[in-house]
Structure 1
Amino acid sequence: MIKSIVFDLGNVLLDFDPESYLADFSYDEEKKMELKKAVFASPEWLQLDRGSLDFKEAKEKMIKRRPQLALEIENILAGWEEMLKLKEESLFILEDLAKKDYKLYVLSNFHQKAFDYVSKKYDFFKHFERLLISSQVGMIKPEKEIYNYLLTEFQLNPEETLFIDDTLANIEAARREGIKVIHFQTAERLKEELNFYLEK
């Protein structure tokens, strides 16, 4: 029987879509792809998730690697958090679960600066018992250690815990620790899969 439900944030409760964000800039397609790699697919982006770099250090390293894109990197990093928009249909599901007897948690790879932004902007965090944010603990999904930390620190029984994430590697890693999982694709599909698990 499921007692605890753990949500990822990016692309589950909040949009994270660098390509759509970059589409708002007037750069040509080739430059947009370069910028996506230079910023959102950079080693520094993962280090931000891990909390091993702060935002200023990460930006400096990105620019040092691609000095010819210095101005563009500055521009897209100036307001990138704005792409973290609420996924309304997912929020309805969260609010419905919050009215029931389940304990709700967050496990998410998230930069500290970005987390500060979303936690001030959105009030849905009030529904969660506790939050496990990667940059605050120095671990990231899909590393085994972060799932062990989740279970131990929050005193969760993996057989009674359901984890929702949009990334298959993260889902598989959680499953290996005995946690029940849902691979998030759409809110409608999530509703169906929740019914399957929660009606047991």
Structure 2
Amino acid sequence: MPGSESTPIRNVIFDMGNVLMTFDGPYFASLFTETPEDAALLDGALFGTTMWSLLDSGTIDRETMRRYALDHLPERLRPNLNECFDHWPEHSEPIAGTNELGIRLKREGYGIYVLSNANTRIMDQLGHAPVTPYLDGCVVSAKERIMKPDPAIFRLLCLRYRLDPAECLFVDDNADNCAGARLAGMHAFHFTGNVEALEAAIRQSR
């Protein structure tokens, strides 16, 4: 971890997808189709395309994403695509352990933030997270036109909320994003589902 070992962590910055809320494109697609083959087609045209990253980066808007996906599906699946595109966030489930940890840390005096590569309608998904009312701030890639792992988005969060990077721990399920946080001077934890290990990493800095 960067910085002095004596610098305590005062702020925990969570990624959203697969840290606070589930994100599983194939599963979402399966909810709006009747066969595995159709689910694969829908997932490939929507969640599994590089255009999804352009949506998260703010380079394209939602309707451009929708038109692209529609153009890459058989006509019979276009109603399924529209339903999926509009309603998949309703099927994103809170990850109990990290939400509970975030709430507990906030009550103990830590700053709690979210930094996510997501589109501008992030609250359709994050709004279901129990930790959301406890957040001190949120930075979203599509709104800033910067994406993780670019260190610039981590620096932007620190500047906006007046945080010392050396006092921040960033939590993400993507190791490359963790590397970007470290380049910005933060501590980082690669989350693979072990909430106890995450909490231990936070506690050991005190």
Q: Same fold by TM (over 0.5)?
A: yes
- Return the offset for 1:123: 5.2
- Give the AA of the match of 1:17: D
* AA of the residue aligned to 1:130: G
RMSD: 2.1
Structure-2 residue corresponding to 1:92: 100
Q: Would the alpha carbon gap of residues 27 and 153 (structure 1) be closer, same or farther in structure 2, given more than 3 Å must change?
A: same
Question: In the TM superposition, what is the alpha-carbon distance from 1:66 to its structure 2 partner?
Answer: 4.1
Is the helix fraction higher in 1 or 2? 1
Q: Give the secondary-structure state (helix, strand or coil) at the position aligned to 1:57.
A: helix
Cα displacement (A) at 1:157:
1.8
User: What is the CA-CA distance between 1:87 and the residue it aligns to?
Assistant: 1.3
In structure 2, the residue matched to 1:111 is 119
CA distance, structure 2, for counterparts of residue 120 and residue 193 of structure 1: 23
Aligned pair 1:127/2:116, yes or no? no
**What is the CA-CA distance between 1:82 and the residue it aligns to?**
1.7
Instruction: Specify every segment of 5 or more residues in structure 1 that has no aligned partner in the other structure, as ranges.
Output: none
Q: CA deviation at 1:190?
A: 2.5
For residues 61 and 22 of structure 1, what CA distance do their matches in structure 2 show?
Answer: 16
Question: Which amino acid in the other structure matches residue 104 of structure 1?
Answer: I
How much does 1:122 deviate?
Answer: 4.6
In the TM superposition, 1:161-180 aligns within 5 A as 161-180=168-187
1:23 aligns with 2:37: no
- 1:129-155 deviations in Å (ceiling 9; x for gaps): 111111211111112321221222222
Q: Per-residue deviation at 1:50?
A: 1.6
Q: 1:122 to 1:91 in 2, by over 3 A?
A: closer
The count of residues paired between Structure 1 and Structure 2 equals 197
Q: Determine the C-alpha separation between the residues in 1 that align with 2:22 and 2:140.
A: 17
Which moved further from structure 2: 25-34 or 154-163?
Answer: 25-34
Look up the match of 1:199.
204
Report sequence identity in percent: 24
Tell me the distance in 2 between the aligned counterparts of 1:26 and 1:34.
10
- Aligned residue number for residue 190 of structure 1: 195
Contact kept? 1:171, 1:183, Cα under 8 Å: yes
C-alpha distance after superposition, 1:91-123 (max 9, x if no partner): 11111111112111110111122x232355455
TM-score by length of 1: 0.87
Determine the structure 1 residue equivalent to 2:58. Answer: 51
Question: Contact conserved, 2:90 with 2:124, CA < 8 A, in 1?
Answer: no
Does 8-17 or 141-150 show the bigger shift? 141-150
* In 1, Cα distance between equivalents of 2:105 and 2:159: 23
- 2:41 touches 2:73 (CA, 8 Å); kept in 1? no
Matches within 5 A, 1:34-49: 34-49=41-56
- What secondary structure, in the 3-state scheme, does the structure 1 residue paired with 2:147 have? coil
Q: Which runs of 5+ in 2 are unaligned?
A: 1-7
Shift of 1:60: 1.0
Aligned residue in 2 for 1:4: 11
Q: Which stretch has the larger CA shift, 95-104 or 18-27? A: 18-27
Q: Does 1:63 align with 2:102?
A: no
State the Cα distance separating 1:67 from its structure 2 match.
Answer: 5.5
* TM-score (norm: length of structure 2): 0.84
One-letter code of the match for 1:105?
Y
